[in-house]
Amino acid sequence: MSLAPPPALRADARAAVLAWYDARGRALSFRGTRDPYAILVSEVMAQQTQVSRVVEAWSRFLDRFPTVRDLATASPANVLRAWRGMGYDRRALNLQRTARAIVGDHGGVVPRDVEALERLPGIGPYTARAVASIAFGIPVGAVDTNVRRVLGRALAGGAGMSSAELQAAADASVEPGRPADWTHALMDVGATLCRPGRPRCPECPLLTWCRFAGERGSEAAPAPVARLSRPRNSGTGSPVPFQATSRWLRGRIVDRLRDADGSAWTRVDPRIGEHDAVAIDAALMALARDGIVELDPDEPRRARLTTV
């Protein structure tokens, strides 16, 4: 018995999305390149980061490391310095690990097929498919949070789809003649129109074909979307200010080490903001476990960005 084909957007629906993208898609600097390495950098940067922050950081990072070999041979400390302002610093080190694998295993050439891309360290299904479609024109669907929401609503309405079903639907929905533009277009529809809480259904190019809009009415608000909650004070139940979180503290420590002179050990203050020595020691240990900093074996509160 043959399996039924996955649900997919029709050709006229794809044409409507691409026409909307041609007229209203976001003009982002990193969309003007087809250099696979530059595209890889932009996709890693865009994970968990606002696009507006990526635009400036992407150009600055490529000025510092214009080729995959430049990134592979740099010191991790310099890579972390170039990553300033992006947050989630482990991404910078993972990106360098990827560059080293590309140089060591692929002769410095970013592989073009999805399977080889997924075997690179730190590269997951979304990033592999985004690079394959944007850089090489491979007709595969890159499913991020925005694309998951757009396709899930359009094809399944309120019924929902599993990850495997969504990936199959994304692959089947790619416009074969324009896979790069199609990838960008679906992301833009999700980011600007098909939003989690207040979708702008009347403006969406998929309105005619969207099961979600048909089930709820184009003006109806969707069910609330679960969001990651901020840490809360155990006594009052109120949200903890960002400056009081360990993430904020780790960011301040790394920024201080970025400003330090070369690979010299730098003493970290016993108090940073609201955080005391105990919290700082814990943050330093966590950063060391992640490979972001090295601790002086003689004085553990002296640290530096990782050098190897």
Q: Which of 43, 56, 215, 274 is catalytic?
A: 43
Residue type, 237: G
Does 219 participate in catalysis according to the annotation? no
Pairing mode of beta strands 293-295, 266-267: unpaired
Tokens 């039924």, located at residue? 4
**Most distant CA pair in the chain, distance:** 68
Say which DSSP state 196 is in. Answer: S
Half-sphere exposure of 109 (CA within 13 A, CB side): 6
Residue 268 structure tokens: 């970290």
Number of residues that this document lists for the chain: 308
Query: Contact, 90 vs 293, CB < 8 A?
Result: no
Say which DSSP state 244 is in. Answer: G
Query: Contact, 41 vs 57, CB < 8 A?
Result: no
> Using CA atoms, how far apart are residues 284 and 295, in angstroms rounded to an integer?
8
Secondary structure (DSSP) of 74-117: S-HHHHHHHTTTS--THHHHHHHHHHHHHHHHHTT----SHHHH
Tokens 């214009």, located at residue? 66
Residue 11 structure tokens: 């050709």
Q: Which residues are marked as active site?
A: 43
